[in-house]
Amino acid sequence: MKLRTREFGNPESPKIVMLHGWGLASDVFRSIVSYLAPRYRVILLDLPGYGLNNSIPANRAYGTIINLEETLPDNIIIMGWSLGGVLALRYTIMNPKRVRGLITVSSSPRFTSLPEEHWPGTPPELLIKLQSLLTQDNVYRVIDRFLSLQAMGSPTMKNDIREIKDLLKDVPLPSYYELQAGLKTLADEDLRGCLTRVECPALHLYGVKDRLVPYQGSSVWPVNDHSLIHVFQNSSHAPFISEPESFRKILLDFLDKYAT
């Protein structure tokens, strides 16, 4: 099923698609859009069960990739934050000829930790707890709790949470079923063995204070001239909110080099 999108900028400009994280919506990227639109075609996409696509049935990762394949144009830069980064990575692996560049933000090829392998990530118990707390009647409360976890560690934590809530104040709450599906995707996806199949230039962005996706996991990405890593020193899980100017500069430098 094709998803609804919102597009900004010149239709003839290079295209960048932005995928949001769990529990939120593409409106969280609004400040980035206004910065990029004069030079790029920015495509905001709400995942199934979210925002403009709130009525579309929930999907696990593979089903969402099919939605994206039916929706997105070719020759794109695809950027994903958190859960959106997991999906952007999977989409890039499955559609290498359609993707010109990959950007992941506070994301990982495996979101949950594996202590026996010394793999850093979110404790699986946290996602299990969120699943158990989540009901159709308390969606807002669980998302609010997750926002606090995302911002934890940031020196601007309260402002970060306030800004994200303000950006999303007019967006309908995501569906209960999609929230459950998203938690399952975060718990189960493990793409570490597929990273050599990423053929395009890639930029991986982390926050040094992130408690959900520790920056130490950045060591898993291939190191070469087209695989770039940057760690924001004063950010937790949302560096585009905590350090907006630095984030926009690094993003634009990558786009100017590989999208044009």
Contacts 24+ apart (CB under 8 A), 139-143: 139/173, 139/174, 139/176, 139/179, 140/173, 142/23, 142/179, 143/23, 143/24, 143/173, 143/174, 143/179
Q: Please confirm, yes or no, whether 210 is among the known catalytic residues.
A: yes
The catalytic residue among 82, 113, 218, 242 is: 82
Kindly name the residue from 27, 210, 218, 242 that is annotated as catalytic.
210
**What is the Cα 187 distance to its own chain's centre?**
15
Catalytic site residue 82?
A: yes
* Phi, psi dihedral angles at 108 (to 5 degrees): -155, 150
Strands 41-45 and 5-8: antiparallel
> Which distant-in-sequence residues (6+ apart) come within 8 Å of 31 by Cβ?
167, 240, 244
Catalytic status, residue 227: no
Q: Which of 160, 175, 237, 242 is catalytic?
A: 237
Of 154, 153, 131, 128, nearest to 142 (Cα)?
A: 131
Question: What positions carry a catalytic annotation?
Answer: 82, 210, 237
